[in-house]
Amino acid sequence: MTAVAEALEQVRSMLLEVLRFDDPAGWSDDELLAATASIEAVGRVIDAHRAACAGEIDERSRAELGSERLSARRGCRSASELLERVTQVSGAEARRRITLGAATRARVGFTGEPLDAEFPGVAAALAAGVLGADPASTIVRELDRPRRIADPVKFAAAEHELVAAATGDGGVAGASTVRCAADEVRVQAQAWAAFLDQDGPEPDDDRAMLRRGVRLGRARDGLIPIRGDLMPEVAAGLTRLFDAHLSPRSSTGFVTDEEAAHFDISGEQRTSDQQCHDVLAAVIETAARSGEHPSIGGAAPTVIVSVRASDLAAGRGAGHADGVEIPVSLRAVRQLMCTGGTQRVVFDDRGRIIELGSQERCFTPQQRRAITLRDGGCLIPGCSVPASWCEIHHVIPDVDGGPTHPDNGVLLCWFHHRSIDTSGWGIRMQRGVPQIRPPVWLDPGGGWRDSTKSPTRVADRLERRSGSAA
Ligand SMILES: [Zn+2]
């Protein structure tokens, strides 16, 4: 054990001894509040060093060190994971400490010259034990973005004012004032951030470039929120994609007048938000399949979902997707299996892999091209999703012996594939030709009929019809 660790261990025993006081229930109000404040002051000293250590771990784990980075040498993917393992805190807390530590850490310039920390005022107050991690993190979070674009003199003034407000020390007048709680500091910091932001020396476009970003939030109620700020031209592109597929549906020209009359498809069940979601789902699926993205471990960047065969057979439980913290439903698992294929892995009772199947049930690009030529797009009438955005659905599921063959695969968009078991639409193959049957609510008494959106096959059909009429 190092000298510091040894000394800290002694302090810890002493603290335990000092704090082994009688039950707080026996204290007077004044004693209770005084002890609370004193304990917080001790906590602030610890906070500062927690952040400093986290910042140092992060520095030693920086990407450019490659396999020499500290996190990698200790078998962790990131500084955050290493910190979680050493301290047993949550990922969110580890990242918060690292952010604070990195922002308050003295830096070194390109030529080795010492540089101030990004937030020198916060760093000094932390080190002095007068500023806790809570308000310090708030200041760093709120001022980090404006810091990159603001006039350095004004930024320094903002940081100074906020630290003064949080510590009750100094400020413009240099007089001691009442300390603000972290929430009050946040309100003040947001006001400063707005002020610094509009004062930035960069033109609008450069500032927008610095501020652009997209991120996925924490899972909530079974969904993952997405947040961010898009550059205007990117938003325009996305808006065009959404518009092209939002109700009222755009005409593909491949739904014949007869078809359009036969099915009154005006009753789109989805909200426009839901339709935008489904467009995004198709865009992601298409992009991953394009083969033009960097591979992950030699494979296309597809989603890997694991599920227990017994759960799948019994229709209960859930699957787990790599990179997402909440489970995915069995219905989603079946859809992914249907379109993406499966690999069977059998474990023995102790968890050893005793059987490893090869990957199965994935339509080849050649099969996909053939199916595309035959179906032309999502088979459901009135749906405008083009073939390249569609998934391939096994009409007879694999578990029921359905082969991975063009005679058993049809194009469906993400939404119609996801809802095919519940929407009421029927799909069957007649000698290799897809037929659909509308749900009863849409077409009571309606029967099976051929369906295609392929311009080639529509042309065929029209030719045959005009031939028989002549
Ligand atoms: Zn569709």
Tens-place pLDDT, residues 249-269: 444 444 455 555 555 554 567
How far apart are the CA of 140 and the centre of ligand 1, in A?
46
End residue of a domain, out of 103, 132, 165: 103
How far apart are the CA of 290 and the centre of ligand 1, in A?
20
387: in domain: yes
Least confident of 119-133, 205-219, 347-361: 347-361
How far apart are the CA of 414 and the centre of ligand 1, in A?
7
How far apart are the CA of 458 and the centre of ligand 1, in A?
18
Domain count, the chain: 2
Q: Are residues 408 and 268 in the same domain?
A: yes
How far apart are the CA of 378 and the centre of ligand 1, in A?
5
449: in domain: yes
How, if at all, do strands 433-437 and 449-450 pair? antiparallel
How far apart are the CA of 328 and the centre of ligand 1, in A?
22
Q: What mean pLDDT do residues 28-48 have?
A: 92
78: in domain: yes
End residue of a domain, out of 103, 126, 148: 103
DSSP 289-340: HTS-S--BTTB-S---EE--HHHHHHT-S-BEETT-SS-B-HHHHHHHHHHH
How far apart are the CA of 411 and the centre of ligand 1, in A?
8
How far apart are the CA of 434 and the centre of ligand 1, in A?
15
How far apart are the CA of 321 and the centre of ligand 1, in A?
24
End residue of a domain, out of 68, 103, 138: 103
188: in domain: no
Global pTM exceeds 0.75: no
How far apart are the CA of 413 and the centre of ligand 1, in A?
4
346: in domain: no
209: in domain: no
pLDDT band at 159 (very low <50, low <70, confident <90, very high): very high
- More confident position, 123 or 180: 123
Domain that holds residue 85: 1-103
How far apart are the CA of 374 and the centre of ligand 1, in A?
16
What lies within 8 Å, CB to CB, of 317 at 6+ separation is: 307, 308, 311, 330
How far apart are the CA of 436 and the centre of ligand 1, in A?
13
- pLDDT tens sequence across 280-325: 888 888 887 776 666 656 666 667 788 888 888 888 888 888 777 7
215: in domain: no
Please answer whether residues 232 and 167 qualify as being in contact, where contact means their C-beta atoms are separated by less than 8 angstroms.
no
337: in domain: no
